[in-house]
Structures are given as C-alpha cells and as structure tokens.
C-alpha cells in the first residue's frame, strides 16, 4: 500500500496539483511561481528582471541587448516584451547559452560558450559591428548548499560573464549579473568599480528571502584606456594592481589553483604538539625508536647517544 503522505489531492476536471497530504509544495506557496504560470513566463525569475527595471530603468533607449546563460529564456521573454513586441524601434536581442531553447519573437539564439572569443565575435556580427548597450546574466551553478563553495562557483561564472562583457559592451553601457552574497562581496564591488562608474547591489522582492542571491547592477561602463582583453586567460586581479597596471594589461601574480585532495582523509588531526622524547627514546628520522629490553642508551665522547646491548 502506498504511503498516505504521498497521495495527492485531485480536483474534478483539473490536473492534480503539487499538493500532498503532508503539506504544500514550496513553489505552490510562492506567489511569483503562480504569476509566472498565469502570465506565460517560463520561470519565476522573469519577475526579478522586471523588478530590477522598475528600480533602475534599465530598458530606456536600449536597442542592442545580450542575455548570457539565457536558458530556459524567462529573461529573454522580458527583454522581448520590453524592447521588441509592439515597439517601432529596431531592437536586437542575442540570447547565449550552451543549451538551445524555444524561439522567442525578435530574439536571436546563439548556442555557444561564453568563455570563447568566437562567441563574442558572433555576437558583434549580429549587431552589425556595433556593441551591446545592455548585458544581463542570470546564470548560476547547481547549488550544493555549502555557501562557501556555491559562492566560489558563482564567482567563476561571474568572471566569465564579465570577461565576455568587456568584449561586447559599449562605453556607458550597463551590466547586470547574479551573485551569491558572501564575505568577499566588498572586494567584488571594488573590482567592478574599476570598470563602471556606478555599481549597486540589489535584491528584488521576487527573490526569496532565504536565498543568498543578489544582483549587481553596473552602469556607466568605463573601460580603462589601453586595457588588453583576452578571453583565453582569467581577468587581471584588479584588487592588487594599480590603475596604471590595469591599463597596460600587466597581469598580477594571482593564480587559480586546482583543488587536490591529499593525505589520509580518514585520520584525525593532531590537536597538540608531540611531547619531547624522553631519555630512553631516540629520534630516528621522523619517528621515535625505543631501545630493546636488553639495550640502553649512553653518551659517548662526542655527546651523542649510543646504543649499548647488555652483556657485551
């Protein structure tokens, strides 16, 4: 017999909702999840971009826009409705992702890797040699629940999004990306302020209170004079370089080291220092050697301990 807690309540003439006798689904309790279904959006995240636009007026005068990590396409839907549907202006939206998604009015899909130079070049081709005025990125890695690890993985994705943005965003443009708030968020703002005149951190009301996500809204793009762009290597470490070093493209000593598990992970860490060897113990290499029962240690003329067997 099935577990009673897994039985669903079905209403006559309607599909069975995600309601169990043990309680309601978190998504079913979410008003923005229900609104997304009724308004035809592919995900509730569409309202995050709508609420960001309410606060920062992001879409005014935009005719060229890039949506990074676009799938399943909820942010592209918002951009299409705001810039193309029912509008007289000739706007172009390029949605980039490793996975294809269903077509949207006026949205050009580009299946590609945002860490590759070829992807940036194809984006500019769609804009007929011009650059974008707005770049948005709502991408995020699979959440593990370990906040430090999630923050690190999200920062790597943000780094890739920012790198391709430097190639495709025109001066005075706007860049928006998801971040996971952590102990290094202040350092992130310092780095972004090297490139943008105004940097804000916003958490739209459609973002769940329990989530550590937020969004950086970077406006007034000001690329340093002479900045050398290279998608084949990580960005410069702006936090430890002067503006002059950034403008000349001089890399810092910052390296991204791989994680390698070493040693016996099943053992216990030593909490206290090892006690000093006693008089009848001898240090051999990194270990202690005890004399045999019929042996004892004496000092020779040089002052070093010497092993003497009894009966000799």
- Of residues 203 and 293, the one with the higher pLDDT is 203
**Which residues belong to the active site?**
178
Known binding residue 269? Answer is: no
> What sign has the CA pseudo-torsion 52, 53, 55, 60?
positive
How confident is the prediction for the chain on average, in pLDDT?
A: 75
**Which among 136, 122, 306, 105 is positioned nearest to 231, based on CA atoms?**
122
Positions of CATH 3.40.50.150 in the chain: 20-248
Known binding residue 145? Answer is: no
- Complete DSSP assignment for 274-285: PPPP-TT-EEET
Helix (H) or strand (E) holding 148: helix 147-168
Contact (Cβ atoms closer than 8 angstroms) between residue 216 and residue 188:
yes
The pLDDT of residue 149 is 86
The pLDDT of residue 151 is 82
Which of 20-34, 64-78, 174-188, 251-265 tops mean pLDDT? 64-78
Known binding residue 75? Answer is: yes
Q: What class, spelled out in words, does domain 20-248 have in CATH? A: alpha beta
Kindly state the average pLDDT of the residues 208-214. Answer: 86
The string of pLDDT tens digits covering residues 238-274 is 444 444 455 555 554 444 444 444 444 444 444 455 5
pLDDT at residue 128 tops 70: yes
**Which among 79, 190, 88 is positioned nearest to 133, based on CA atoms?**
79
pLDDT at residue 275 tops 70: no
The string of pLDDT tens digits covering residues 7-31 is 333 333 333 344 333 344 555 557 8
Token reading at 121: 């070049």
Query: Using CA atoms, how far apart are residues 264 and 43, in angstroms rounded to an integer?
Result: 45
| Reported confidence tier of residue 152, pLDDT bands at 50, 70, 90 | confident
Token reading at 227: 């900045």
With a pLDDT cut of 90, the percent of the chain lying above it is 40
Q: How many CB atoms lie within 10 A of CB 27?
A: 13
């Amino acid at each position: 017999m099935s577990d009673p807690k897994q039985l669903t309540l079905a209403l006559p003439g309607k599909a069975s909702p995600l309601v169990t006798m043990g309680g309601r689904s978190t998504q079913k309790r979410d008003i923005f999840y229900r609104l997304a279904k009724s308004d035809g959006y592919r995900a509730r995240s569409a309202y995050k971009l709508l609420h960001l636009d309410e606060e920062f007026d992001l879409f005014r005068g935009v005719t060229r826009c890039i949506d990074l990590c676009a799938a399943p396409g909820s942010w592209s839907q918002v951009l299409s409705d705001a810039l193309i549907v029912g509008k007289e202006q000739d706007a172009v939206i390029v949605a980039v992702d490793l996975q294809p998604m269903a077509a949207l009015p006026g949205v050009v899909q580009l299946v590609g890797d945002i860490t590759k130079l070829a992807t940036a070049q194809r984006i500019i081709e769609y804009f007929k040699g011009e650059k974008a005025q707005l770049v948005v990125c709502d991408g995020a890695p699979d959440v593990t629940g370990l906040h430090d690890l999630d923050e690190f993985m999200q920062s790597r994705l943000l780094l890739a999004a920012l790198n391709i943005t430097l190639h495709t965003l025109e001066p005075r443009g706007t860049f928006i990306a998801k971040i996971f708030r952590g102990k290094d968020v202040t350092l992130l703002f310092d780095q972004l302020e090297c490139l943008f005149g105004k940097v804000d951190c916003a958490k739209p009301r459609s973002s769940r209170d329990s989530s550590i996500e937020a969004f950086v809204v970077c406006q007034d793009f000001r690329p340093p004079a002479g900045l050398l762009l290279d998608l084949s290597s990580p960005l410069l470490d702006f936090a430890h370089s002067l503006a002059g070093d950034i403008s000349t493209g001089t890399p810092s000593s910052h390296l991204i080291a791989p994680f390698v598990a070493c040693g016996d992970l099943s053992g216990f860490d030593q909490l206290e220092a090892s006690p000093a060897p006693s008089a009848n113990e001898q240090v051999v290499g990194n270990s202690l050697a005890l004399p045999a029962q019929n042996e004892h240690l004496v000092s020779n003329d040089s002052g070093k301990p010497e092993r003497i067997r009894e009966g000799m």
